[in-house]
Amino acid sequence: MARSFSDNQVERLLDLVPYLVTNPGVSLDKIAFDFKTNRAGVIEDLNTLWMCGLPGYTPLELIDLSFDTGFVSIRNADILSKPRKLSIHELAAVIVGLSILRESLSEDGFHYSTVSELLRKLGTSSNVPAPVSVKPSVAPEIRKIVDMAIKKAGTLSVTYYSLARDEESQRVITPIAFQVIDQSEYVDSYCHTSSGFRSFRLDRFKEVSFNDLNSVNIVTQESGEDVKKEFSIRILSHARQISETFRIDVPVNTSKEFEVLCSAYNEEWVVRSISGLNNSAVVSNPPALRRKIAEQAKKALKIYE
């Protein structure tokens, strides 16, 4: 009885290597029959496989195939049969990565025990100890509750820290999906408090609780709080730092002063950010924001008088 193989080419190629090792000299027609494809498909797979091999990727490491006679054989099967041995640095990287992954999992979950067992085996066989403590940026309990809410289409009451406002707020959200932006994990959600879709950084959730939407008293924020306000800044130096702070595109190699239009949700964040730039940039518009920054600077100077 013929074996059943996946139609996916990557999975088929992974199956093809051990198949050819255990069936030296097998015909192209027999391979096509076993893999439920045609002769042309087999030749295409073999040509792809010919360019694969072990790290180094010179003719010495690439898979050496012969199939021009209509029968296929691998000449370097002895090399392929040897398992790749990780270096001490590679093992250390794997162990640290698994340790971080374990810290982000709940201890009563299935994957936690699996990762722990794998860490124990790697540590025993390699003599590379696992880190005593690796703190993830997101508490596993918070991740577990948010993940449950996504799967059950549930609603959460959250205490969220806003970097822009430098304050914590109480919100009711319905999380939709996780995504990673600039190496930070976000939760795409519908925010019932703001009556709109928002993305929240997962590591800024301070408290999270699963609830029934019907039992929650939702307080809607005043309109305008979550609306971006535009302002202009004149960049004097350190263009790259300013580009990263305000998330704008600026020519980083220019030596001239220039003006850029920006936007932010909160004026207080703009005041703090501009004040911390050590005169690398100044607000040019609107005048009210310029006065606010000037007043803040005068208050700071009085502290040192």
Q: Could you read off the pLDDT of 180-231 as tens digits, one per residue?
A: 877 788 898 988 888 888 888 888 898 898 876 555 555 555 544 556 788 8
Pairing mode, if any, of strands 184-191 and 167-181?
antiparallel
pLDDT higher than 80, residue 251: no
Same fold, 9-80 and 141-215: no
Residue the block writes with tokens 């270096």: 87
Alpha carbon of 119 to those of 113, 114, 126, 127: distances in Å? 10, 9, 10, 11
- Mean confidence (pLDDT) of the chain: 78
pLDDT higher than 50, residue 297: yes
State the fold for domain 141-215. Answer: SH3 type barrels. (2.30.30)
4 falls in which pLDDT band (50, 70, 90)?
Answer: very low
pLDDT value at residue 59: 63
Tens of pLDDT, residues 37-87: 888 888 888 888 777 766 666 666 677 788 888 898 887 665 555 556 677
pLDDT value at residue 269: 80
- The architecture CATH gives domain 9-80: Orthogonal Bundle (1.10)
pLDDT value at residue 79: 58
Instruction: Select from 270, 277, 266 the least CA-distant residue to 293.
Output: 270
Q: What share of the chain is helix, strand, coil (3-state, %, to 5)?
A: 40, 25, 35
pLDDT value at residue 55: 64
- Rg, Å, the chain Cα set: 29
pLDDT value at residue 52: 75
pLDDT value at residue 131: 64
Whether the CA torsion 269, 271, 276, 280 is positive or negative: it is positive
How would you classify residue 25: left for phi > 0, otherwise alpha for psi between -120 and 50, otherwise beta? left
pLDDT value at residue 225: 52
Q: Can you tell me the mean pLDDT for 131-152?
A: 78
pLDDT value at residue 255: 62
pLDDT higher than 60, residue 3: no
Is residue 32 a contact partner of residue 42, using CB atoms and an 8 Å limit?
yes
Most confident among 12-26, 52-66, 215-229, 238-252 (mean pLDDT)? 12-26
Tens of pLDDT, residues 76-134: 665 555 556 677 777 888 888 888 778 777 777 778 888 888 888 887 777 776 665 66
- Structural tokens at position 89: 């640095």
259 versus 127: the higher-pLDDT residue is 259
The full set of domain ranges for the chain reads 9-80, 88-126, 141-215, 229-303
pTM of the full structure: 0.42
pLDDT value at residue 6: 47
pLDDT higher than 60, residue 15: yes
